[in-house]
Copies of this chain bind each other. A is one copy, B any other.
Amino acid sequence: MRIVVTNCNTTQEMTEEIVRGARAAAGPGTTVTALTPAWGPESAEGWLDSYLSAAAVLDTLRTYDEPYDAVVMAGFGEHGREGARELVDVPVVDITEAAAHFACLLGRRYGVVTTLERSCGQIEDSLETAGVGRNCAAVVGTGLGVLDLGDESRTEEAFVAAAERARDAGAEVLVLGCAGMTGLQRTVGEKLGLPVVDGVSAAVKLAESLVTLGLTTSRAGSYAKPLPKRRTWGPPPGEAPPPR
C-alpha cells in the first residue's frame, strides 16, 4: 500500500521529520512518500498561512503523478482536507481529525497542545467541522512557533506546562497539536501519566485501515468530484508580486 503524506509547509526538514514518524507507524506492506509543497508558507501559523498552505497542498496533490492508495495531510489544524477529498479518488485523512478520533477512544475528554495561541481557534473549528469537537476539553498553546520545536528540552517543558492546563480543563488524553511535535508522545506521555496521541501516526493507521477495508470518500453530496472548469494555480508568469 502506498500512502502519500503531504507536509503543509515548504520546510523540507519538517517533511523529513513527518515522514520518519509516518514510517514508524506504517505497517510492513506500506510505502510512505512525503510531498513538500513547491510553494506556500515555510510554516503554517495562522489563517493566512493556512489558506495559502491549503492551495499549495492541493496543487501538490493535483500535480503528483505517481499512483497511491491514500493521502495523509500532515498540517495540524490547517485547511484543505475537504478539497483533497474532492480531488483524489482515494481516502484522505487529516492528522487533526485522526488524532481526535483516536483520542476519543482513549478517554472521555481530550485536550490538544499546540504551538502558538493564535492557532487554537483554527484547531477548534477544524475539530468541530470534522465532527469530533464535542469531547475536546481544551486547545492550549505552548507559545512556541512551529520552527522553534527543534529545541527539544524547551519544547518538552512548554508542552508539559500547557498539558497541565488541558488536564485541569478535563482532558484525560492529550493530542500533539503540530506535525512537528511527532516523537514527543513517548517522553511527555510518561511525565504526564496520560496517553498522548500523535496525529501523523494516527492518520497513517486510519489511512491503512480504510484502504484495507476498501473504503473511500463518498461522492454523494459534499465531496463530489470537482467540476471540469478553468482553474489557474498561481499568478501568471511575469507577474511575480512583491514579497510581503
Contacts and interface: CB of A to CB of B under 8 A. Distances in A.
A39 B232 contact: yes
Given A58-B51, A213-B25, A221 B170 contact: yes
Contacts of A47: 82-83, 85-86, 222-223
A197 B48 CA distance: 25
A227 to B, nearest CB: 6
A212 B201 CA distance: 10
A119 B157 CA distance: 31
Interface string A40-70: 1111011111111011101100110000000
A149 interface: no
Protomer copies: 6
A134 to B, nearest CB: 5
Interface string A122-134: 1001001111111
Given A58-B48, A194-B220, A229-B41, A130 B104 contact: yes
* Chain A interface size range: 35 or more
Interface of A: 10, 25, 27, 38-43, 45-52, 54-56, 58-59, 62-63, 79-80, 82-83, 85-87, 91-93, 97, 101-102, 104-109, 117-118, 120-122, 125, 128-135, 145, 167, 170, 172-173, 193-195, 197-198, 201-202, 205-206, 208-210, 212-213, 215-224, 226-227, 229-237, 239-244
A80 to B, nearest CB: 5
A42 B118 CA distance: 32
B46 A224 contact: yes
A125 B135 CA distance: 12
